[in-house]
Amino acid sequence: MWKLKIAEGGPWLKSGNSHVGRETWEFDPNFGTSEEREAVEAARIEFQKNRFRTRHTSDVLARMQLAKANNFSIDLQKEKDGNPINIDTATVSDILKKALSYFSAIQAYDGHWPGDFPGPLFTTATMIIVLYVTESLTITLSSEHHKEICRYLYNRQNIDGGWGLHAEGESSMLSTALNYTALRLLGENVDDGPDISMHKARKWIHDHGGATMIPILGKVWLSVLGVFDWSGVNPIPPELFLLPSFVPIQPGRLWSHFRMAFIPMSYLYGKKFVGPITRLVISLREELHIHPYKKIDWKEARKLCAKEDAYNPHMWLQECLSDCLYSFGEPFLTRWPISYMRKRALYQIAEFLKYEDENSQYICIGAAQKALSMLCCWIENPNSDAFKRHLARVADFLWVGEDGMKVRVCAGQLWDVAFAVQAILACSIAEEFGSTLKKAHGFIKTSQIMDNPSGDFSRKYRHISKGGWAFQVADQGWQVSDCTAEALKALLLLSKCLSDGADYQTETYCYFDAVNVLLSLQNPNGGYGAWELARTYPWMEIFNMTEIYADIIVEHQYVECTSSVIQALALFREKYPGHRKDEIDQCIRKATEFIEKLQNDDGSWFGSWGICFTYGTWFAIEGLSAVGQCYDDSTCIRKACKFLLSKQLTNGGWGESHLSSRTKAYTNLDGEKSHIVNTAWAMLALMKAGQVERDPAPLHKAARLIMSMQLSDGDFPQEEMIGSFLKNGPLCYMAYRNIFPIWALGEYQKLVFQNYQTSSIKQTNIAPSAGNAALKNSASTTAPT
C-alpha cells in the first residue's frame, strides 16, 4: 500500500526549513491493515467504474491516512443525511463542528493540508519522456510506480480513446499523443489496456491527422524523443537570450512560467537534441504518424495543429516571422562564424538554468519547467551531482489518488493553509480548534522565504523574495503576490481575532519584510500580477507560440492578486499605522482604482485563477470593502451584487463552468447544477456587501444548499474543477471543497444569527416554507429560509 510521507528529506536533498510541507509517497507492501487495503482497492474500483461521470477523485488514500494519524474515523461511503435542513443556530453550529472536526483531522502534523492538485493531463507524460531519454526511468520509478501511473493514464482516457488537456476536457492531440507515448515507454504494448485502450488511442490519433498535428509543445517533446524531426518545429532561437534586456522579446522580460519553459526549450532547439533511437522509438515513429516517417514533409508539419488544440491560433504576423526564421534565420545562425553566437547562447542558458535549479532546490517553478530543466541538466553532464539532485526531487511532484499516480503541475501547500486559517477564524467556534490553528500558524511562519535569490539576482531576471511566500513550500523560493498577501492576512488575523492572540504573535520584521515584497510588486497601473512586475508589453501576446493557452507571454495584472494585497495592507495598516504610511496609502488607492476600472458592464469581474466571474467578483468586493466601500456608497458593489443575484439558481446555489474562463462569458454547469465552492464564494461576496441587512433570503437558500451537501463524516463532495489558469487550463483545488463551505457558513452564522440575537425583536421559529415574508417574526435561534 502507498504511504504518504510528510516533511521528510533524503539523499541529494537540501532544505532551508527541514522540508516543511514536502509531500512524497512510498510503496510499502506491509503498510496498513487488511481492512484499509480493501478500502483503498474498493475506492479504486469505484472510481474506475464511474470515471466518465465523476471526473475527479476525493483523495481517499491521503485523507484516510491523515485521519488515522489524527485518530479520526473517515466514512468512506460518504453518504448524505437526506433529511430536510432546518436553518437555526444549533443546526449551523452542528454542521460547522462536523466540518471543522473533519478538516482538522486531515491536517498534517507540520500544519498544512496535503492534497492532489490536478491540472494539465500531459505533465505526467513529459516527465516520463525525460526519465526515459536520460535512462533514469527504472532507477527513479519502481514497478509499483509504473503500475499506478498506467492506472492513472487509463483512467483519464476519454470514451473516444483520446485524452483532454484536463480531466473535463474534450480529447486533444497534445495529451493523446503524449499519453499514448508515455504508456508505451512504461512498457504497455500496442493493444494493451482495458477495453483495448491503446488501440483506441492510436485510432484517435490517426483519425485526427496523426502526430504531425500536435501543437508546438508536443512537437518539442516528440523531437527530443526522436519521434518527430526538429525540422518540423517552428524556430525557438536561443540567441534571443543574448539580446539586451531593453528589447521587449528578451526572454528575461517574459512571464515567469513561460520564461522558465521557453528558455530550456530554446536550449533543446539550439542543440537539436535527440535521445537514444531505440527499437521502441522507431516503433513509435510508425505508430504515431499516418505517413511513413521518412516521407513526412516536416516543413509543412511545423505549421500544423489539430483544431481540437487550436484555442489560440497563430496570427499571420507570427506565421510570417516563423517562416523568415525558418528559411533564413536558422541557416544563417548555424553557419560559421555566426554559429559562435549559438554556442555562447547555449552556454549562458545552461548557466542560467543552473542558477534557477539551485535557487529553487531543484523543485523549479512547476512540473513542466522542471522536466525541461532536468533534461538540459542531463545533457550538460549526465553524471553531475546537479542531475542527481533533480532526480531526487521528482518524488515531490508525484501524487497517488484512487485514480492512480500522476505528476502534479505543482502543489499549493501555503495557499491552502492561508485560506484555511481565515475560514476557521470566520467560525464562532474557532477557539475550539486552537491546536489546528496553532499548527497552521507554525506552518505559515516556517514557510516564509527568508532570503533573496543568491548573488546579483536582478541580472538573472529574478525579483526580491525575502519576506514573501511561495504558492507551495519555502524551498521552492518563488514569491507570489497573493500568496504573500493571504499569508500576511492570516498571521495578522490570528494575532487579532483569538482571545489567546498573544500565542500567535509573529516577529515584527516578518510583517515588515512581507510588506516590502508587496509594495515592490505593484505595477504603474496600480494592479498586481502573480510572480513579478510586468516587464514587457501586452502586445507581445501576438507572439504566443503555444496554441493551447492565452495570455502566456506577459505577466498580466489580476483582480484577485490586487484585492489580496489591498486586504493585507489595510489590515497591516491597522496594526502598524506609522510604517511606510504614505507608500501604503498610495498603493491601496492605486490598487482600488485598478479594480474599479476592471469591472465589466454587467457588474462582474473576470477571475483568472478561479472559475471565474463568481471568483473574480468575490475578490473584488472583498478588496473594495477593505477600503471602506459599501453597497450604499459604491456603484461598483451595487452592480456586483445585482450580477451575483442574477446568477443564483432556483435551488439556491451558484454553479459556474470552466467554460466561462475559456469563452470569457458566464456559463452555467450542465443541467443548471450548483457547485458548492461557487455557492460559497457568492455567499461570501454578498455578505461582505451587506446582503444580510437588505434581504437575507438568497443567503438562507444558499446556506441550506451547502448544509444539505455535507457528507456523513463532515466532508463535502468533490465536484467539477474550480481553479483556472491561462484561460484554457482548469485546475482542481482539492481543499476548496472544505475551506469555502466552512468559511461561508461561519460568516453566515455570525452575520445572520448574531444580528438577530442582538436585536430587540421577539422572534419565533419559521418553517421552511414560510419564506422571506416571515423575516420580521423569525426566531432568535432561527433564520427564515
CB-CB contact of 561 with 594 (8 Å): no
The helices-and-strands tally (H runs, E runs) of the chain is 31, 6
Question: What single letter denotes the amino acid at residue 705?
Answer: L
Q: Read off φ and ψ for residue 80, nearest 5 degrees.
A: -85, 155
Question: What single letter denotes the amino acid at residue 751?
Answer: L
Q: Where are the beta strands (DSSP E) in 653-712?
A: none
* Spacing of C-alpha 654 from chain mean position: 21
| Residue corresponding to grid cell 460568516 | 747
* Other Cβ atoms closer than 10 A to 450: 15
Q: Quick check: is 191 catalytic?
A: no
Which residue, 506, 551, 558, 549, is CA-closest to 531?
558
| Residue corresponding to grid cell 502534479 | 408
CB-CB contact of 530 with 561 (8 Å): yes
C-alpha to C-alpha distance for 155 and 741, rounded to whole angstroms: 29
Classified as helix, coil or strand, 203 is: helix
C-alpha to C-alpha distance for 221 and 187, rounded to whole angstroms: 19
C-alpha to C-alpha distance for 421 and 64, rounded to whole angstroms: 22
Question: What single letter denotes the amino acid at residue 784?
Answer: P
Question: What single letter denotes the amino acid at residue 147?
Answer: K
DSSP state of 28: -
Classified as helix, coil or strand, 88 is: strand
Q: Give the pairing of strands 398-401 and 404-407.
A: antiparallel
CB-CB contact of 453 with 359 (8 Å): yes
**Which of these is catalytic: 88, 482, 713, 715?**
482
- Write out 499-524 in H/E/C secondary structure: CCHHHHCCCHHHHHHHHHHHHHCECC
C-alpha to C-alpha distance for 630 and 634, rounded to whole angstroms: 6
CA distances from 107 to 101, 412, 490, 573, 785 (A): 10, 14, 17, 31, 34
* Other Cβ atoms closer than 10 A to 66: 22
Question: What single letter denotes the amino acid at residue 719?
Answer: E
Which residue, 268, 263, 238, 264, is CA-closest to 253?
263
Residues belonging to the active site:
482
